[in-house]
Amino acid sequence: MCGIVGYSGQKNSLMILLDGLRRLEYRGYDSSGIAIKDNDKIYNRKAVGEIKELEAKIGDKQIEGNVGIAHTRWATHGTPTEANAHPHCDCQGKIWLVHNGIIENHQKLKKQLQKEGHKFSSETDTEVVAHLIEKYYQGDLAQALKKSLHDIEGAYSFVAFHKDEPSRLVAVKKGSPLVLGLAEDGVIVASDVTAIIKQTRDVIYLEDEEIVDINGSNFDIFNLANEYKKKKAMYVDWSIEQLEKNGYPHFMLKEICGQPETVTDSLRGRLVAEEGNVKLGGLDNIAKELNDMKDLISVACGTAYYACLVGEYMLEEYADLSTKSIVGSEFRYRKYCFNKNSVILGVSQSGETADTLTAIKEANKKYITTLGIVNVVSSSVARATTAGIYNHIGPEIAVASTKAFTSQLVTLSLLTVYLGRIRNMSFPMGQRIVQELEKLQEKISKVLENEEKIAGIAKKYYQVPNFAFLGRKYNYPIALEGALKLKEISYIHAEGFAGGEIKHGSLALIDKNFPSIFLVPEDSVYEKNLGNIQEIKARGGNVIAITTEGNKEVAGIVDEVIYIPKTLEMLTPILSVIPLQLFAYHMAVIKGKDVDKPRNLAKSVTVE
């Protein structure tokens, strides 16, 4: 991992490659590098740290090559060093290659190649592939790459060139995303459309084990059986403006403040208030399977997993549907008693999360109906699932997810109404939920008016080393999400708890240096939450509370209070999470952290 860009065409490749790398910075990385065919020479530079370090090493040097590859690396094998940065080459310095993914049998392959006389200069699994291609190379790079794939176990996307094949670029994927951009002057290949759309909006997504052979503006796509594939290009409707900060100091703040609009975009054209229902066209072709469904298993990772936990409460309470959420990385290692009426739901902003995608593929092998909630059209999860729902919120750039999370909650609420009305949800209840969804834009805007107050609270507490986040029922997963946000970008230790569980052990942590943020809206567990707050106050703990507008009772017993508008209990997480996003953001800013690119993290986790 983490970012790939390649270009073959009529233009100078350097600027295209560097621009692509800059647009992939949001994915998280620790080093970068480029390799360009410049006439009969290979120009290669690598650097540890940010892209600007690579740019400094390139300087003002004039590089004329129109074929090249570039990469941002997120370390998996070997520490961040120039030697371990991509691109990697073979013994002769003729074959150059970049890679996302993990080669699981690289140690075995490396030992065999070393016995055959190959010399290695890095600790990475990637370099093994460059030497494998060298071993099989007989004048045709594509065929040598194809032969190498038979020896490799793992997930990967590769882009490679050979010094002796002037304008040729060869790429392949298996379990790691790769997309082609079709420009007038050439072809760009990248791990993410964000690296492409400045040059072109016309893209082709590669399927697993498809090889693309690029020569300038011409290309062929074929599989391991040498069967050629004809694929139509898709138009990406994201704009360049969506990839810029537009006056905000950070992408994260832009995305937090943009949630009134992104939530509206997720709802657009889907609410049918007069029928007390919603319209989800992506599910029409599996209406029978959904009608017969007995249980739903949601699979996701990180923030998306917490969205699924909220969805459990929604679907069980309003759709009368047995629902279970499972962390994607654990799914394949447990035995589940599926039946023909089970449905698997994968939730992923990028649609490329490796563990979630693997779970979907495992379910497909068992002929179980699979659904997806994703933001990226034609992403791997979208293509692997039987049916699904798109978020339609545009690209999310900050590594820490905000607008995607609220969109996932909104989408799960839509799914709840859709499935509930199939079952036994009444028209009045369906209509009430739809009407409250229509009011979300205004209510989110009102929550965002608290930013200055939240920034002040952050300033008061930024030196505290620990935080507890607490909530019950719908807001228990929001406590988990709030703790994750604070950990992700400020590096402050934080834990999320179910409010009623803290007295079963974790209350021992509470003292004056371990404050709590408590989600206590006026809902069905309000009185229980008040009791838990009193337990914390009795131990000398400070409490920051998030509660419903007009509530004076909570303000009288806590140290700080933030208000959110009243809404249906099932929709409170969409409002209550926003103060937690702003709190984490301002804590990180005060502490001088890199908000958009927190250390050690990647935006799209494409390896298990």
Catalytic positions: 2, 603
CA 437 vs. chain centroid, Å, equals 25
From the list 582, 608, 604, 606, the residue with the least C-alpha distance to 595 is 582
Nearest-angstrom CA–CA distance, 371 and 414: 14
Number of Cα atoms under 13 Å in the Cβ half of residue 104 = 6
- Residues 6 or more apart whose Cβ sits within 8 Å of residue 25: 3, 50, 51, 72, 597
Q: Which of 135, 69, 66, 123 is nearest to 96 (CA)?
A: 69
Tokens of 608: 């298990």
Residues 6+ apart with CB under 8 A from 75: 30, 31, 84
3-state secondary structure 113-132: HHHCCCCCCCCCCHHHHHHH
The backbone torsions φ and ψ at residue 410, rounded to the nearest 5 degrees and listed phi first, read: -65, -45
* Alpha-helix runs per DSSP H in 248-353: 251-257, 259-267, 287-292, 302-318, 328-331
Element (H, E) at 214: strand 210-215
Cα–Cα distance for residue pair 310/305, rounded to 1 Å: 9
**DSSP 3-state of 327:** strand
Can you tell me the distance from the alpha carbon of 425 to that of 413, in angstroms, rounded to the nearest whole number?
13
Strands 342-348 and 322-327: unpaired
* Residue whose entry in the numeric block shows the structure tokens 């400070």: 542
Output the CA torsion 144→145→148→150 (10° steps).
-110
Residue 10 has a CB neighbour count (10 Å cut-off) of 13
| Cβ neighbour number for residue 560 with a 10 Å cutoff | 18
Q: How many whole angstroms separate alpha carbon 188 and alpha carbon 206?
A: 13
Contact by Cβ (8 Å): 595, 489: yes
Strand bridging mode 342-348 / 369-374: parallel
Beta carbons within 8 Å of 381's beta carbon, 6+ residues apart = 346, 348, 351, 352, 353, 356, 357, 360, 372, 374, 388
How many other C-beta atoms can be found within 10 angstroms of the C-beta atom of residue 59? 7
Let me know if 198 is exposed, middle or buried by CB neighbors in 10 A (0-12, 13-18, 19+): middle
Q: Is 55 exposed, middle or buried (0-12, 13-18, 19+ CB in 10 A)?
A: middle
- Output b/e per residue, 505-534; b: 16+ Cβ within 10 A: eebebbeeebbbbbbbbbbebbeebbebbe
Pull the structure tokens for residue 287.
């209406």
